[in-house]
Structure 1
């Protein structure tokens, strides 16, 4: 196609149908366009879907095969699995610019006019028909399926105001007001949450998907639309809120199943990419890989939890929001204490509970526990799991009496009635002094992680206390301004376990007896 040899400037200089023909323009369907450009990118070893991690061996190959086959596509998966993001990235496979008949509401191809407007204009002006250039970003349309969506919204309807203004009878095709789908001619049209679309509305898509035309009221109009359809759906919706009617499902050529990250490393890449950390936060708060691992482990624990509805899924937005929240918690502490720089703490991680409570769908047992309690339990499990990556397993120490217990000095100190309060908003100096009170704690960290800097050492000391509490060697209790560590036995007679305050505990007892 000769016109592709022109530069963008030369291309945009073409303003008439005659000049377009002279440049050698050849019409292509949008699916052919996607296919050709995908082939070019694959041959050039380019990243076709940048920023999409964890799908390199699964979803992306399936998607590329569907595009090469020129299929309509349904992306099926739980929430937070980048379905809409993938659909939006398909725009980059379109040509940068395509010619349209200037003033046409259906993006008419000058060589293959579709609407009455374009056909009439070309018949009148011939090669002098004005041509405009449409950027690929304008060729993407997205519609969220909601119960109030009508056939008129998607397909179109007769417009009485237009008929009265133009003094036309209702039998005239020019009184039609076209919906979103006809206006997406020569582009990509995405319907999110397809099962939420009422069945009678889904039926209106049959002809478009199979024959490529539309039917509006009583008009004998056939518009061979050229559209790449992409649908997204959640498996939960098939039973809870609606379903995709069988004939429509049959007309969608490829159904591609998405999934959550299969490793913590992939999850970390996604969170680091998507988390909106301000430049001033990056300058003030120093984080580490352990904290990233903890955030991702919370999502892993949630997806396996008996309190969380597995069919609903746990979105990647949970880890993104949690990481943003913990960074903000550290920033707030530094601002309150007048510190220019601070290092993240486990306390910041635990302060991210509000970022979790709205991101998980609880089953009955979870509702009984309460969203906040479930969130804290998930965080506790994440700490317990990752603790074994950095410290010896306390359970093995109990079983094998011949192995020296590295935690004995710490346990004995708490067993003597000592306590440590780690305040959420305490200054770095207060934080360090609190942790230094515990004899043997620094020794454990220094022996296992001798090369760590001062800040990371204190972080690991706090991490060690939380890990020991999760393994029931010491007690961890929530106090108003932070966390208190003490002997496990004494805590049974004084304060409630981590995950609720004293008032909550008193309210729970009568309910449990009932």
Structure 2
């Protein structure tokens, strides 16, 4: 974006007189944003860079609100980029604006509202010093918490200032301004607004309606020029608090946010946000298959009956899970002295901490335990993605005739396990050792090559491992995590010996004697 005229003007103007001679005209912050947004739209520029999945939903709603010069409320579950979008609105401000030098509330030189600015102009006239404020400094943000006070937001009388200046408490100069007046001529964001006490929300009425503030008993009218952006989570309306109706009525536009609607959009978000170090990328390769498995976990969690839907499942789950998966592979490579490796399906055991810390469980989920719920979500992720790569085992179960059973592509693999064979994949195996182990299973490599002829050795090995996890997810073979390894066995033998082998608990996973 080209620099606007204020950049050129600001290089040479330092006094009020010079500003008047330049022909500069001040605008309200909402008019300023409206004008700059229209320019971006005319040039077909991306209004909110890095915001993925909102192109046809949230972004148009926000643009319409800004063009209408509305204050707005972002309403949505956690991890839906509400605050991020609010912060990016500073890019729609002019690069620089002039303010009275020394003003605590960014007074407009042509329309001063504080006692300080008025006195400066009365004293120095056209020689009043001017300061140029960058748009990055025109943003204020406050996380609403129950302990936030009116003094924090709006201001209060400062007895220390009164004593030092030897002024009466009725003098406007003894006021200590809160964060809202200090955001004058800018954007101010209140996150999680329902957490504010009702009496604090009431204090915002006059600012939104009349644009001015009132501090204690002062006969003070100070019309502020602010774009207000509020954020809230729907669960707040029932669990912690609510937005009082008169305040909500004064917020002109309510913007509903949402989670990614498909895997590809979610993948793009995670790819953009995941913090993968260059040295990790140099050692660890991660396939599109593994990325989709990680992403699918969040989709499964959002649809799970064990997870609290009112709380939501943040996009940060997928981001941290991907980072953990790569770190699990990196750790294994370092331990084994390998220069190169890839993320295997078995490495997904390492993403469990990313899941348990990002989901809120309902009562039934608490009974299951967070670890068990996380493992169930992993299994569902594998099950959902498996049918995108290989024939659906569920449909093959319904085939009864001998001819139909012979068409089963998994028949030889199942037969190998039915003979009493078992496969143990240790979590810290070297890649070469893991590949050798996978080749022991009859028909496994042939199955992968049947559907993926162009796959190289490592890609084929990853798909071979994926097949085993997929067959377990569809209950054609059994899978069990024991200490630092994953055991694959025939289903019937495992059920007879150990009961349900696909069920885990925190105690079983940590118990060294569990086998």
Corresponding residue of 1:264? 263
Q: 1:190 & 1:90 partners in 2: Cα distance? A: 11
Segments of 5+ residues of structure 2 without an aligned counterpart are none
Deviation at 1:106, TM superposition (A): 0.6
Deviation at 1:350, TM superposition (A): 2.5
Tell me: CA distance 1:23–1:67, structure 2 relative to 1, closer, same or farther (3 Å): same
Corresponding residue of 1:293? 292
Corresponding residue of 1:11? 10
Counterpart of 2:435 (choices 432, 437, 458) is: 432
**8 Å Cα contact 1:163/1:175 also seen in 2:** yes
Q: 1:399 & 1:150 partners in 2: Cα distance? A: 65
Q: 2:138 & 2:131 partners in 1: Cα distance? A: 14
- 2:501 is the alignment partner of 1:497: yes
**Aligned ranges for residues 15-414 of structure 1 at < 5 Å?**
15-400=14-399, 401=401, 402-403=403-404, 404-414=407-417
Corresponding residue of 2:463? 460
- Summarize deviations over 1:344-364 as a string: whole Å, max 9, x none: 100112220000001111000
- Summarize deviations over 1:77-106 as a string: whole Å, max 9, x none: 000100000000101000010001111101
Q: 2:187 & 2:442 partners in 1: Cα distance? A: 65
Q: 1:279 & 1:114 partners in 2: Cα distance? A: 51
Tell me: CA distance 1:113–1:506, structure 2 relative to 1, closer, same or farther (3 Å): closer
Q: 1:66 & 1:274 partners in 2: Cα distance? A: 27
Q: 1:46 & 1:28 partners in 2: Cα distance? A: 23
Deviation at 1:452, TM superposition (A): 1.4
Count the aligned residue pairs.
504
Counterpart of 1:419 (choices 412, 419, 422) is: 422
- Summarize deviations over 1:197-231 as a string: whole Å, max 9, x none: 00000000000001000000000010000000000
Corresponding residue of 1:485? 488
3-state SS in 2 of match to 1:120: helix
Q: 2:280 & 2:508 partners in 1: Cα distance? A: 35
Corresponding residue of 1:510? none
Tell me: CA distance 1:88–1:454, structure 2 relative to 1, closer, same or farther (3 Å): same
Deviates more, 1:402-411 or 1:419-428: 402-411
**8 Å Cα contact 1:101/1:108 also seen in 2:** yes
Normalised by the size of structure 2, how large is the TM-score? 0.96
**8 Å Cα contact 1:479/1:501 also seen in 2:** no
**8 Å Cα contact 2:194/2:242 also seen in 1:** yes
**8 Å Cα contact 1:295/1:319 also seen in 2:** yes
**8 Å Cα contact 1:478/1:499 also seen in 2:** no
Deviation at 1:433, TM superposition (A): 1.2
**8 Å Cα contact 2:80/2:259 also seen in 1:** yes
3-state SS in 1 of match to 2:141: strand
Counterpart of 1:441 (choices 437, 440, 444) is: 444
Q: 2:216 & 2:459 partners in 1: Cα distance? A: 69
- Summarize deviations over 1:378-408 as a string: whole Å, max 9, x none: 0100100111111111122222233311111
3-state SS in 2 of match to 1:110: coil
Deviation at 1:374, TM superposition (A): 0.2
Deviation at 1:506, TM superposition (A): 13
Deviation at 1:505, TM superposition (A): 9.7
Q: 2:349 & 2:63 partners in 1: Cα distance? A: 41
- 2:472 is the alignment partner of 1:473: no
Q: 2:358 & 2:508 partners in 1: Cα distance? A: 23
Q: 1:4 & 1:300 partners in 2: Cα distance? A: 44
Q: 1:113 & 1:74 partners in 2: Cα distance? A: 29
Corresponding residue of 1:512? none
3-state SS in 1 of match to 2:269: helix
Q: 1:419 & 1:113 partners in 2: Cα distance? A: 81
Deviation at 1:501, TM superposition (A): 5.9
Q: 2:86 & 2:467 partners in 1: Cα distance? A: 44
Structure 1 runs of 4+ with >6 Å offset: none
Tell me: CA distance 1:420–1:39, structure 2 relative to 1, closer, same or farther (3 Å): same
3-state SS in 2 of match to 1:389: coil
Tell me: CA distance 1:346–1:4, structure 2 relative to 1, closer, same or farther (3 Å): closer
